Amino acid sequence: MKFPGKRKSKHYFPVSARDPLLQVAQPENEAANSWIVGIDQILVDIEAKVDDDFVRRYGLSVGHSLVIEDDVAQALYEELMAENLITHQFAGGTIGNTLHNYSVLADDRSVLLGVMCNNIQIGSYAYRYLCHTSSRTDLNYLQGVDGAIGRCFTLIGEHGERTFAISPGMMNQLRAESVPEEVIAGASALVLTSYLVRCKPGEPMPEATMQAIHYAKKHNVPVVLTLGTKYVIADNPQFWRDFMRDHVSIVAMNEDEAFELTGESDPLKASNIALDWVDLVLCTAGPNGLYMAGFTEEEGKRTTRHPLLPGAIPEFNQYEFSRAMRHQDCTVPLRIFSHIAPYMGGPEKIMNTNGAGDGALAALLHDITANNFHRSNVPNSSKHARSYLTYSSLAQVCKYANRVSYQVLNQHSPRLSRGLPEREDSLEESYWER
C-alpha cells in the first residue's frame, strides 16, 4: 500500500520509516490486508470522431450511453472502419477504469469481477483489455464465457460532446455463483455502477450484483455506487433513491446525475439530500471542481483552517478538517462538507474528459483502503479510537481526488498510465498554492 500522501508530523503515515517494534508485533502482509473489489461490464472503448448526422442515423442520442443491437453495432463499426474514423481503442468500463486507477495510485491489489472470453486471440478486444489493465488488478476471479466481451463506441461529436453506443456481447452474463464471498468479505469496499442493472430480461448480471451486495452487508463492507450517466438515473429516480437507502454507503456522481437523483441543481444541496440515504458523497462538478459530504462524530469534529465558504449552506466547509465516518458508527452524527476548485485551475488543454470522475473516486477508495491498512497494522493508533471511514480529512480527500482528475484530463485514456509524480505526493500546502 502506497499511502495517498506524506503528512506533517501527526498525520505522517510510516510507510518508508517502519518502526521495527511494530513490524515484530504486526508483520505486514499486504496481500491479506488491503484490497477493493468491483463488478463491471467488461468492455473496451472504441473512440471515434463523428458528425451529428452519424449519431442520428444510428438511432443514438447525443450525450447518452445507449445499448445497441448486434446488427446496428456491426453496421456502425463497418462505417467507422471504412471512413477511418477510429482514433483510439482503450480498455474501458467505468468500474474497470476505477479499479485500474486505484491499483496504479495505491500500487496495490484490486479485484475485478465480470466476464472474460475463454478463448483469447492475440490482438482481439479481450486481449487488449487484459494488456491495458494494471498488473495489480487481480483478474483471477473473472468468469469465462464462450463469446465476446462488450464494446463501447465512444463517439465524439462536432462540439466535443460524448455519445456512448454499447454493443454488449456477453458482458452481462456474470452469474451469482461466480461472485466469491471471501473476496468481498475481506475487501475495503465493493464498487458498483448503476449501469449494472441495465440488462435484458433474464440476463444474470443484476442478480450477481445483488449477491455481491448481500455479501458486503453480511461482512460490513461499504458498498460504493457510481451513477453512470444522468439518463440511467432519470429513467427511474425513485428506484435509485430507494436502492441507495437500502444498499449503498458511498455514492459518486457528477452534478447532472445529482440533479436527476435529487431534483437539486446545486451540487452542495444535492449532496446534502443524498446524505439522507448514504454515509458519504463525492459530487464532481466539471469546471467548478468537486464537493464532498459526509458524517463525523460531533465530539471529534475539527475546524478548518481554510477560509469559510459561502453557499446554499452558509460556511458549509467549517468542519472539513474532520475525518468521515459511517452514520451507523457515530453516536451524535454531524454533517460535514468540503469543496475544492479544479487543481491549478484545470489543465491548459483538456485531452479528454473520459473518466475524470472515475479518477476522483479511485483517489477516495485509496484513502479508505489506506485507513483499513493502517488499522490492521497499527490497531492501537489514536487514529482508530473511533471507527473512521477515511484515513484523511474530507478536505484532504478532496485535494487528492481533484489532483487525480487533473491527471486524467491531461491524458487521452480514462486509465492512468502511471501514478502521481513522487514530488507531489506530499500535496503540501506550499505546493498546492503555487
Ligand X SMILES: Nc1nc2c(ncn2[C@@H]2O[C@H](COP(=O)(O)O)[C@@H](O)[C@H]2O)c(=O)[nH]1
**Binding footprint of ligand ADP on the chain (CB under 6 A):** 254, 284-287, 289-290, 342, 346, 350, 353, 356-357, 360, 402, 405, 409
Indicate which of ligand ADP, ligand X, none lies near residue 166 (CB less than 5 to 8 Å, by partner kind).
ligand X
C-alpha cell belonging to residue 239? 428506484
Residue 285 known to bind ligand: yes
Task: Determine whether the annotation assigns residue 95 to a binding site.
Answer: yes
1-25 per-residue burial string, b: 16 or more CB within 10 A, e: under 16: bebbbebeeeeebeeeeeeeeeeee
Pairing of strands 137-138, 110-113: parallel
Q: How many CB atoms lie within 10 A of CB 140?
A: 8
Q: Which is nearer to ligand ADP, 73 or 252 (CB)?
A: 252
Closer residue to ligand X, CB minimum distance, 286 or 311: 286
CB atoms within 10 A of CB 430: 7
Could you say whether residue 163 binds ligand X (CB under 6 A)? no
- Please select the residue that binds ligand X; options are 93, 169, 289, 294, rule is CB under 6 A: 93
Q: Is 357 annotated as a binding residue?
A: yes
Query: Which conformational region is residue 217 in: left (phi greater than 0), alpha (psi within -120 to 50 degrees), or beta?
Result: alpha
Q: Which of 195, 186, 235, 239 has the alpha carbon at shortest distance from 30?
A: 186
The total of other beta-carbon atoms located within 10 Å of residue 433's CB is 6
Q: Which does 402 bind (CB under 5 to 8 A by kind): ligand ADP, ligand X, none?
A: ligand ADP
**Least distance (Å) from ligand X to the CB of residue 78?**
21
Shortest separation between residue 172's beta carbon and ligand X, angstroms: 9
Of the pair 291, 319, the CB lying nearest ligand X is at 291
Count of residues engaged in binding ligand X, rule: CB under 6 A:
19
391 touches ligand X by CB under 6 A: no
Which residue, 92 or 222, is less far from ligand X as judged by CB? 92
Is 97 flagged in the annotation as binding?
yes
172 binds ligand X (CB under 6 A): no
Beta bridge partners of 323: 393
C-alpha span between 298 and 28 (Å, rounded): 33
DSSP letters for 322-378: SEEE-GGG-SSEEEEEEEEPPGGGS-SS----TTHHHHHHHHHHHHHHHHHHHHHHS
**Share in percent of the chain as helix, strand, coil (round to 5):** 40, 20, 40
**Binding residue for ligand X (CB under 6 A) from 34, 354, 369, 372?**
354
Rounded to an integer, what distance in angstroms lies between the CA atom of residue 66 and that of residue 150? 13
Does residue 284 have a known ligand-binding role? yes
Question: Shortest Cβ distance from residue 417 to ligand X (Å)?
Answer: 15
* Sites of contact with ligand X (CB under 6 A): 40-41, 43, 45, 65, 92-94, 97, 152, 164, 166, 193, 195, 354-355, 357-358, 414
Q: Which residues are annotated as a binding site?
A: 93-97, 198, 284-289, 357, 402
Binding residues for GMP are 93-97, 198
